[in-house]
Amino acid sequence: MRRDRPGLFTKACHLEATINKRRHTLGKDPVYLTRYNAPLADVTPEADTLPFDQDGGTCDTGWCFT
C-alpha cells in the first residue's frame, strides 16, 4: 500500500497515531496495525525488497527462484 496507494497509506498511519494518542490519554498500551508490534511507517519498507518488478515481473532465467 505504501508504494501503490501512498495517500491511503498516509491515512492508515494517521489513523494508527490517532488511536494510540487516545489510548495513551486513557492510560492504555498502544496498538498497531501490523503484526510486528511497531508503528506502520516504521516496519513498512519504502522500496521493494524483492527484485520481481525487474523485467516486467517475469522470471525467465530462473535466478529469482534460487
Separation of alpha carbons 26 and 65, rounded Å:
49
Give DSSP secondary structure letters for 17-62: HHHHHHHHHTT-----SSTTSS-HHHHS-SS-SSGGGGGGG--SSS
Task: Write out pLDDT tens, residues 47-64.
Answer: 765 555 555 556 666 666
Task: Please tell me whether the overall predicted TM-score, pTM, comes out greater than 0.75 for this model.
Answer: no
Cβ–Cβ < 8 Å for 13, 5: no
- Confidence check: pLDDT of 9 > 70: yes
Amino acid at 64: C
